[in-house]
Amino acid sequence: MTIIVGLALTAALWAGGPGAALADDVHGQGSCDPVQPFVPGTSLGPVRIGMPLDAVQRWYGRPRAVETRLLQGHQWTHMQFSGVDVLARDNTVVGLNALNLSQFSPGPLQTTCGTPLARPYSLPVGYVQQTYGWPSSTTIVNGLQYWLYNTLGLLFTVPLGGQYVQGLTVYQAGQYCAVVPAFTTFGGFVFNAGSRITAQCPRDPGDRER
């Protein structure tokens, strides 16, 4: 009976649905768990913080748009790909942003069973709360909640009353005020951040870089 119940639960997990490829959770799927679609403060899909900017194109191809500016003595580059935005400082990746997780695919990642993971995934709000606890800062703007975990290097966007995370931003832990305000300075870019959270930073983002 135990074996039958276990097989039934496994079949239900693999039948599809919004939680088919969950963040850094394994959900008891053993050796066939997918590679982590994100790691707090470290990576989003195959792209890692600290990676040379040129290396990003090997995963996502040619960007849809590229914008470069000089800010606080650094060269900042914003690259837009399908489903993900990349921010680089001096040609090194410092911020990664997925505005809509339901449309974001981590890329041609491989599971330990050799099966490609190249489809969108969803992140339940309950998983975030259980795994990361209370955010260090929250705000509500235009019907969206913004949950900031600065000590982890994570920012989540959650619709009011929603069951799944809408947007996810990964950056180096503790560097919110050095990275996110730079993201918001690029014209025409609707960023995954609440204005009230950004307003908590000093006027010069470089004040928090050192």
Q: How many domains does the chain have?
A: 1
Confidence of residue 16 (pLDDT cuts 50, 70, 90): very low
> What pLDDT, on the 0 to 100 scale, is given for residue 107?
59
User: How far apart are alpha carbons 45 and 9 in whole angstroms?
Assistant: 27
Give the range with max mean pLDDT: 56-65, 66-75, 84-93.
Answer: 84-93
Q: In which domain, by residue range, is 38 found?
A: 2-208
User: How far apart are alpha carbons 39 and 55 in whole angstroms?
Assistant: 18
pTM of model > 0.85:
no
Give every CB contact of residue 100 below 8 A, 6+ residues apart in sequence: 83, 166, 167
Q: Which one is predicted more confidently, 9 or 99?
A: 99
DSSP state of 124: B
Confidence of residue 187 (pLDDT cuts 50, 70, 90): low
Question: 43: part of which helix (H) or strand (E)?
Answer: strand 43-44
> What pLDDT, on the 0 to 100 scale, is given for residue 141?
84
Mean pLDDT of 25-30: 40
Q: Which one is predicted more confidently, 94 or 123?
A: 94
